[in-house]
C-alpha cells in the first residue's frame, strides 16, 4: 500500500499539497475497519434518549427479527462493541455507527449505554458512517450504490480512487452506481427483492418507460437473468430494425 512522507519536497512544493483527495478517505477507511477507540476518542456513558439518528446512514431497511435476536444476545452477553457517536449541542449526540445495536438497546428499554465519542466534522462524519456500513456488507445493492455515490460527491474523488481506497475493483463500484440510473419502480423492485441486482443491470441501458415494461414481463413470466437479457436483446433488435426502415 502506498505511504506518503508528509514533508518531502518536490521542487518548492511539499508533497502534502499534492495528495489526492482519496488519501484522506483512505485514512478514514482504516479508522472504519473497527470503528474502535483510538487515543483521541472518549468512552462515555450516555443517555440513550439523547442519541439522535445518523442523517448520513445509508441503510433504510432494518430486519426487526434480527434486531430482536441482537437484543437477546445483548441481554445474555452484554454489548460486545460500543456504539460510536459524535457530540452535538445541548448535551445531545449523533450516531456514527451501530444503529442496529442502538435499536436493540431501545428494544430492551435500556436507559444508558457506553459509547465511543469522536470529534468529527460533517465531511468526516458522513464518510466514516458510509464506509463503516459498506465494510459490514449489510447494505442492499441500491443502498450500497447510494453510499458509493455519496462518498464520491462528498470527497470529490473518482470511481477509480474510491475503489482503490475501499480495496474494491473499479468495475464493482461502477456496476453498483450504474443501478442508480434505473427507474424508481425498478429500484423499488430490487429493494423489495422481487428482482435481482443482475436483472437491474441488464435494464440500465433502456429508457425508464421500457425498463418498467420489461419489469412487468419479468414479474409476470418469472424470467431469470438470462431470459431477461434475451428479451432485452430482442427488443433492441426490433427497435433498430424499425429505425433502419424509417
Rg over CA atoms, the chain: 22
Q: Which residues contact 125 (CB under 8 A, 6 or more apart)?
A: 54, 56, 86, 94, 96
Query: For helices 184-191 and 141-155, what crossing angle results, to 10°?
Result: 120
> Is 33 one of the catalytic residues?
no
Indicate the length of the chain as a whole number: 246
* DSSP reduced 3-state for 96: strand
Q: Which residues contact 43 (CB under 8 A, 6 or more apart)?
A: 37, 82, 114, 115, 116, 117
| Residue that is written with C-alpha cell 466514516 in the block | 128
Question: In angstroms, what CA-CA distances link 96 with 66, 99, 125?
Answer: 20, 8, 7
Q: Which residues contact 218 (CB under 8 A, 6 or more apart)?
A: 195, 199, 228
| Residue that is written with C-alpha cell 447510494 in the block | 146
Task: Single out the catalytic residue among 94, 99, 161, 212.
Answer: 99
Sign of CA dihedral 166, 171, 175, 180: positive
The distance from CA 137 to its chain's CA centroid, rounded to whole angstroms, is 9
> Annotated active-site positions, please?
99
Amino acid at each position: 500500500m502506498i505511504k506518503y512522507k508528509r514533508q518531502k519536497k518536490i521542487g518548492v512544493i511539499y508533497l502534502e499539497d499534492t495528495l489526492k483527495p482519496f488519501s484522506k478517505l483512505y485514512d478514514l477507511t482504516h479508522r472504519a475497519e473497527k470503528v474502535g477507540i483510538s487515543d483521541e476518542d472518549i468512552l462515555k456513558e450516555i443517555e440513550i434518549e439523547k442519541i439522535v439518528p445518523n442523517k448520513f446512514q445509508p441503510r433504510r431497511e432494518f430486519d426487526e427479527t434480527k434486531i430482536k435476536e441482537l437484543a437477546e444476545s445483548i441481554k445474555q452477553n452484554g454489548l460486545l462493541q460500543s456504539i460510536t457517536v459524535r457530540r452535538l449541542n445541548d448535551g445531545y449526540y449523533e450516531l456514527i455507527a451501530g444503529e442496529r445495536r442502538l435499536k436493540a438497546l431501545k428494544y430492551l428499554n435500556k436507559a444508558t449505554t457506553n459509547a465511543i465519542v469522536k470529534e468529527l466534522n460533517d465531511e468526516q462524519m458522513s464518510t466514516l458512517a458510509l464506509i463503516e456500513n459498506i465494510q459490514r456488507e449489510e447494505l442492499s445493492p441500491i443502498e450500497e450504490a447510494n453510499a458509493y455515490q455519496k462518498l464520491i460527491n462528498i470527497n470529490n474523488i473518482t470511481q477509480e480512487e474510491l475503489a482503490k481506497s475501499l480495496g474494491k475493483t473499479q468495475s464493482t463500484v461502477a456496476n453498483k452506481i450504474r443501478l442508480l440510473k434505473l427507474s424508481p419502480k425498478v429500484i423499488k423492485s430490487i429493494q423489495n427483492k422481487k428482482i435481482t441486482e443482475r436483472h437491474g443491470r441488464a435494464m440500465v441501458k433502456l429508457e425508464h418507460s421500457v425498463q418498467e415494461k420489461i419489469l412487468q414481463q419479468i414479474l409476470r413470466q418469472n424470467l431469470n437473468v438470462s431470459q431477461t437479457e434475451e428479451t432485452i436483446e430482442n427488443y433492441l433488435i426490433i427497435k433498430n430494425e424499425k429505425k433502419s426502415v424509417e
